[in-house]
Amino acid sequence: MNTFISLTRNFFQPSFFAWKFSFAIVMLAMGACSEKPDHENEIPLVVVTTTHLYDLVDSLAGERVQVLSLMGPGVDPHGYKPTSRDLSSLAKADLIVFHGLMLEGRMGHALEQADKKGIPSIAATSDIPQALLLSSSEEGTDGHDDPHVWFSPEIWSVCVNTVMNKLIELDPKSEAEFRENAQVTLRQLEEIKVWSLDQVRQIPPERRKLVTSHDAFRYLGKELGLEVIGLQGISTSIEAGLADRANLVDFIKKQNIPAIFVETSVNPAAMNEIAKESGVFIGGELFSDALGPPGESVIGPEGKSFDLDSWGGMMVHNVSTLVKGLGKKE
What are the residue ranges of CATH 3.40.50.1980 in the chain?
Answer: 41-192, 200-326
Question: What average pLDDT score do residues 303-330 get?
Answer: 95
Residue 160, exposed/middle/buried by CB under 10 A (0-12, 13-18, 19+)? buried
Lowest mean pLDDT among 118-127, 133-142, 149-158, 161-170: 133-142
Lowest mean pLDDT among 102-106, 132-136, 217-221: 132-136
Domain 41-192 class?
A: alpha beta
Q: Distance between CA 70 and CA 51 in Å, rounded?
A: 8
- At 268-279, the pLDDT tens digits run 999 999 999 999
Checking if the pLDDT of 16 tops 50, the result is no
Give 328's pLDDT tier (boundaries 50, 70, 90).
Answer: confident
Q: Which fold has domain 200-326?
A: Rossmann fold (3.40.50)
pLDDT, position 245: 83
Question: What average pLDDT score do residues 116-131 get?
Answer: 97
Give 309's pLDDT tier (boundaries 50, 70, 90).
Answer: very high
Q: Mean pLDDT of all residues in the chain?
A: 86
Question: What average pLDDT score do residues 130-158 get?
Answer: 82
Q: Distance between CA 247 and CA 234 in Å, rounded?
A: 17
3-27 as b/e: b if 16+ CB within 10 A = eeeeeeeeeeeeeeeeeeeeeeeee
Checking if the pLDDT of 19 tops 50, the result is no
